[in-house]
Structure 1
C-alpha cells in the first residue's frame, strides 16, 4: 500500500505544480490527462483492492496484488517523469482567444443536428424512456445514433462557438446529455460534455476546478444509484460502489497478472487486428470473428454476466511481459507527439484535438492502446477532417 500512496501523492503534487504554473492551460496537455486518468483507473481503486476482493469474493492472492501495484508504480513514475518535463504553459499563450469565422455549411449542419436532437428527445420522452434514468444498462442500445452525433458535435459545436461566442450553440450537446442519462448510460454524455466544459474554461481563461470536481462526483453518484444488486457477498460499502467502472477496470490487473493461461496468449496478428478493428469500423464484426482479444478472453473466463474491463497494462500482458518495454514507450512517444502537435495548432483546433485526445487517452488507460488508437484515427478521418474542410468553405468561393 506504501507504493500506491507514494505514486498517488506524486501525481497530485505534479498536477498542482502544473496548475500553479499554467492555470487553465493544463486542460490542453495530453500528459495531464494521462496522469489524471491513471490516478482514477489504476491508483485510486488499488487503495480498496482488499475490500473489493472480500465483498466480491474474487480470491486474489496477495502476491498478485503486490505485483500489480509494483507494475502500476513503475508505469506511473515513468509517466510522471515525462509530465514534469512537458508543462502545460508551453501549449498556449494567455493572449490566445477562442475566435474564428466558420463556413455556412457548419451553421447548416449545426441547425440540422439541433432539430434532430430535439426530435429524438421528444420521441424518447413519449416512449417513457425517462424511467431508465436510474437503471444501470450495460446493453443499452443507441436507436438514434447519438454516439455518432456526439462525435460530430465536438468540432461542430466548437467551431460554432468560435464564430458566434454564444453558449447557446451547445444546446444540442445538452440535449444529448439528457437523452443519454435517460437511457441509463453516461458514455455519450461524457463525449458531448467535453467540448462544453473545455471551451467554457479556455474561453474564460479559468480552470473552474471545484465545479469540475462536483460534475465528476455527480456522475459517480449517478453510477452508485444505478448499481446492479445481487453481485456481491453482503452489503457493499458506498465508497466501493462509488468506484464503479474504475474498480472493474483495475481489478483485472491483479486477477490476471500471474495467470499463465492469459499471459502471452496474444500474437502480432491479433494486435494488428485490434488496431484495424478500431480504424475500420464498418468491418469491425468481421474482424472480431477471427480473433479473441484480452478483454473478451477475460469476460468469458470470469463469466459473471456483467462488464469487468480490460486496462492499459493488462492488455499489454495478454501479449507477454516483454511487450511492456515496447508498448509503454510507444504510448509515451504518442503523448510527446500530440503535445507538440497541439502546441502548433490554432486555439480553436487545439480545443477540438484536445477533446478527442481526452476521450481516447481515457479509453487507452481503460481498455488498451491499439484498439483505442485505431478508433482515434477513425474519428479524426471521418468526423473531424470533413468538418474541418467544411468550416473553411465559403459560399462566395463556390460561386466564383
Structure 2
C-alpha cells in the first residue's frame, strides 16, 4: 500500500504511483504461484500483530465499548475476513498450480441445463460457523463438465493476459475488510495490480493495511487516502469539473456555507446529484474549489495592475481601483471567501486552502510594495512597512466596508476607497 495516510497525494505522486504500477503490471502476471503463496503467507504473518488494534479502532469509531459483545463484529468484518481469505486462497492457488482445482468439487446440472458447482461449505469450519449457508457458482450456458477446466482459473493459463492490467479499487461501505479484499481479488483472481482509493468512512483504518513490506512493492496495491484534496480525478475530464465549479459558484455565493444544499446546486447546474458526488467528496470540497476559482481570478486582476503600471502613484491608484470594484461588483463572491475563512476556525478541512490563499494574497502585496520601490516610490511613514501588515490592514478595511455595502450603505465603496488610499499612500516627497 502507498503510505500517504496523513497527507493528500499530489498529482505528481498519483501519477508516479500509477506509472510504477503500469511498469510492473506484466511482472505481476508472470509472478509464479509459489511466489504468490509466499506473499499470502507473509500477509498473514503481518496481519496478526495489528489485528487487535484494527478491531479496537473500528469499534471505537462506532462508539462501541471495548468490552461490548458488539465489538466482536469488528473482528469478523475486519482482520478475520482478510485472514480467512488468505487461508482459503492458499490451498486454492496450490491446486491451481497443478490444475487440480476441480478435483472433488460437487457439480450438478440445473433444470435449464446449466452447470453449477457447490463452493460452500468447503470445510468443517464453514459448517460450524456458517451453519445452513450454501453457495453455488452457476456457469455460463455452454460450459459443461467436459470443458469446465478451460473456463476456470483462466488468469493462470499460460499466456493469459501477458501485458497485465492496472485496476482502480474504490473502497466502499463501512465494512473494514471490503477494500483490502477487493484488492486481493484483483491481484489473485483477476491478475491485476491495483491502486486503492480509501472511502472517507474507513480512511483512518488505513494504517492497518500497510504493515507488510511486500504490499509496498512495485507489484502490489497502492493506496490513496480518503478525502483527498489533490483534485486529481481518474478518468474524469477536468473541464467537466471546472464547469461544475462555475455553475456552483453562483449558487454558493447566494446561499453561503450554512445553507449549502448539494441537491439544489445539482439542479441549478443541470446535472444529477450523483454527478456532483462523482467529482467532489463532499460539500466542503466543492465550496473550497469554488472559492479557489474566484480568488484565482481576483489575484490575477491585482497582479495585472502591478505589472502594467508606469508610475508608483498610478500603481497604487489602480490597485485600489481593483479592490473597490471587486467590493462593488463581486460582493457576493467575496463574502463567500470570508464565510469559508470563518469556517476554517472550526473545520480543519478548510485550513490548507485558506492558508494557501492568504499566503498568496500576502505575496501579491509584497509584489506591490516591491514594484512601488522599483518605480522610485516610497510609502508614507504611517503606511504598513511589511507585506503581512499591509495585507492585514487592507483586508480589514475591505471586510468592514464590504459588509456595509451588502447591508445597503451607498457610501461604503467610496469610504473603502478613501481608507485604502490612506493605507497605500506615497510619502509626500514621492507624490507626483
More helix by share: 1
Q: Same fold (TM over 0.5)?
A: no
Normalised by the size of structure 2, how large is the TM-score?
A: 0.25
More strand by share: 2
| Larger Rg belongs to | 2
Structure with greater contact order relative to length (CA < 8 Å, sep ≥ 6): 1
Normalised by the size of structure 1, how large is the TM-score?
A: 0.26
